[in-house]
Amino acid sequence: MRKLLLVCILFCPLVHSQTVPPPPPLFAYEVDYDNDGTVWLDLELFTQFVTIPRHEDYYDIDLSGYTVQYDDFNNTILSGTVSFTQSLEMYYNFFYSGPEYDTAMLNNTYPAIYVERLAFDGDWDTDGIINGLEDTNANGFIYDDDSDSDGIANFEDPDVLSVSSNQFKEVVIFPNPANSSLNFYAVKNQIDFVKIIDLTGKIFLQKQNPAENIDISMLSPGVYMVRLTFGDKTSDQKLVVK
C-alpha cells in the first residue's frame, strides 16, 4: 500500500526581515502501489525531497538543520509513515536547529498540505511509463527518482523516456514491505515462474505461471529474494515481509 497526490499550499511570508509573498499552491503526488485505495506517505522522505527543497528554492535560503513537524486538522502530531484513503489534510511547522531564520515567520500562516491518491497503473506525465514504474529505486516514494538528473521527478517528467529503458523494471512486486499477499505487475510479458528464497538460499515458495496475486502469509517476517522468470529474462527483487 503506498502512494499519491500531495497538494502543498505554502504560506510562508517573511525571511530575514524581508516580506516575500506566499508561494503558489504546490501539487505533489504519491502512488497507491497495490491500487487498494489506501496510500502510505513517508513523512521523512516527504520532508527531505519536497517540504524543505520547495521552501529553500522559493525563498533562496538554506534550511539545513531545520526539522519539520506535521499535524492533522485535529492538531494530532503525525510522524513516521501515515496512511489515508482518498485524501489527507496536514499542517506543518519548522523548528530551528541551524541557520537563523525566524520560524514564526516561516510558519505564521499555518501552511496546509492536501494529499490525494495517484493510481499505480496510471500515467501522470503521459510518457508511456505507468506511475508505479517511475519509482526506479523501489522505495515507495516517487519524488527521489530522477533518472536523467534534470531536477524533475520521473513521474512528472515526460522527457525521462530519453533515458535508457533498462533503468525501468519490466516487472514490479508490490506491496513491499508485504505481510499476507504479494502482487506482480509485468509491463510486457506474462510471468512464467516465481520463486521466493531467503538469504541462505532456502526455497520457501515456487509457482509456475503464477496469478497476479499470491499468498505469502506462511512467510515469517524477514528479508527474502523474489526471482521472477518471464520469457528469456530473470528479475531478482528484494522482498521485506512484516
215: pLDDT confidence band, cut at 50, 70 and 90? very high
Hey, what's the cell of 61?
535560503
Report the pLDDT value the prediction gives residue 166, as an integer from 0 to 100: 36
Report the pLDDT value the prediction gives residue 62, as an integer from 0 to 100: 82
Report the pLDDT value the prediction gives residue 145, as an integer from 0 to 100: 81
Report the pLDDT value the prediction gives residue 23, as an integer from 0 to 100: 58
Closest CA to 12 of 106, 124, 119, 138: 106
Hey, what's the cell of 220?
515469517
Distance CA 148, CA 128 (A): 16
Distance CA 131, CA 198 (A): 29
DSSP codes, 75-138: --EE-SEEEESSEEEEEEEEE-SSS---HHHHHTT--EEEEEEEETT--TT-SSS-GGGG-TT-
The owner of cell 522468470 is: 229
Distance CA 14, CA 217 (A): 53
pTM to 2 decimals?
0.58
pLDDT surpassing 70 at residue 46: yes
Alpha carbon distances (Å) from 225 to 165, 169, 195, 206: 23, 16, 8, 12
pLDDT surpassing 70 at residue 189: no
26: pLDDT confidence band, cut at 50, 70 and 90? low
105: amino acid identity, one letter: M
Q: Are 158 and 134 a contacting pair, CB within 8 Å? A: no
The owner of cell 490525494 is: 116
Higher pLDDT, 128 or 222: 222
Report the pLDDT value the prediction gives residue 4, as an integer from 0 to 100: 37
What residues have CB less than 8 Å from 29, skipping those under 6 apart?
3, 4, 5, 6, 116, 118, 124, 131, 142, 155, 156
Higher pLDDT, 114 or 22: 114
